[in-house]
Amino acid sequence: MKVAVVGATGLVGTRMLKVLEERNFPVSELIPVASAKSKGKKIAFKGKEYEVVTPEEAVEMKPVLAIFSAGSDASAKYAPMFAEAGCRVVDNSACWRMDPSKKLVIPEINADVVEENDMIIANPNCSTIQMLVAIADLHKEYKIKRIVVSTYQCITGTGQKAVDQLVEERSRWQGVEHNIIGGEYPCAYPYQIDLNLLPHIDKFLENGYTKEEMKMVNETHKIMRDENIKVSPTAIRIPVLGGHAESINLEFERSFEEKDAVKILSATPGVVVLDNIKPDGENQNPAIGCKDPNALPYPMPLYSEGRDEVFVGRIRRDPSIENGLNLWCVADNLRKGAATNAVQIAEVLLQKGFIN
């Protein structure tokens, strides 16, 4: 099976290659794709070296599957070219997510929507993925009326330039102005990010929300197939290298018992509960990777890095409203929030016999 990874040299693209290898996806020939300036670079995959090619060259090589993570402009230009050549496309950009003719898929939730005539399938936004993986089964049981979510998103969601900015600032933070940076070095953000946080991800819209925040609203409605769920998001960028965190407040239509909600979360595919509440009333096991048996069990970005699960903790009833529940949710944004979910969509295509 010829598989193209478009954007193979980027942060998400390198994770896609890693996840394809880890999950033993049946790649007989890899086609690493990047811009012309990266043409000819060598990419290692499953013990072999492959040479980076341009998108135009990749189309001529006739892959059966192309996984894109090269940005919306590249997806808009090249995804239809691959699709017209008979290649299935899984796209990680925002380009096709809200296109009514394209499916937006989290395999644990709505793999059933994928059909044989789907040539371009959209991968949701990282923050939407981890939130919905955590709460989809709660919605089935109690019906969510309203979601209030604040995200705490690490800098790898912006890309390598943001990582470079943080590293530079951290190495010399005492000499950096705590205000607008005056172009001393390449910056991904309009303000310092180290020792700071920015309540600003993506562009601001006329309604006062950012594009990142409205993605969570619109994508939730499309994936959950329920336009009646009210979503109130605030997206925040934090100086952390790996892992997004979310504070999620849910209001249900139906009454619930806290222990039953924990049972549902514990049984939800792709979710790991790290909390001091267990369905049987005993204390939860110590946090992953921590040798202290008395450690406080709650999810943190450190525990999620390199993992595909969505970690949920701080599960507690909201006493301020009827049928309210609070959760704290953490996931690796480059894996389940991007690369792993895209590869899982490819696995759905494989399982349904749409690629071979």
272 vs 279: CA distance, rounded Å: 13
Say if CB 271 and CB 109 are below 8 A apart: no
318-355 b/e (C-beta count within 10 Å ≥ 16 → b): eeeeebbbbbbbbbbbbbbbbbbbbbbbbebbbeeebb
Q: Which of 126, 154, 187, 329 is catalytic?
A: 126
Please name the residue that has the structure tokens 């959950």.
Answer: 224
Residues with Cβ < 8 Å from 287, sequence gap 6 or more? Answer: 274, 295, 296, 297, 298, 299, 300, 303
CB 58 within 8 A of CB 333: no
Beta bridge partners of 50: 43
Helices (H) and strands (E) in the chain, counts: 10, 14
| Angle formed at CA 111 by CA 109 and CA 114, multiple of 5 degrees | 145
Report residue 65 CA to chain centroid gap: 20
Q: Would residue 244 show up in a list of annotated catalytic residues for this protein? A: yes
Question: Which ranges in 85-125 belong to alpha helices (H)?
Answer: 107-110
CA 39 from centroid of its chain's CA atoms: 28
The one-character DSSP state at 147 is: E
Q: Which is catalytic among the residues 139, 187, 244, 329? A: 244
Find, among 323, 313, 182, 186, the residue nearest to 248 by Cα: 313
CA–CA gap between residue 115 and residue 90 (Å, rounded):
13
Catalytic residue numbers, as ranges: 126, 244
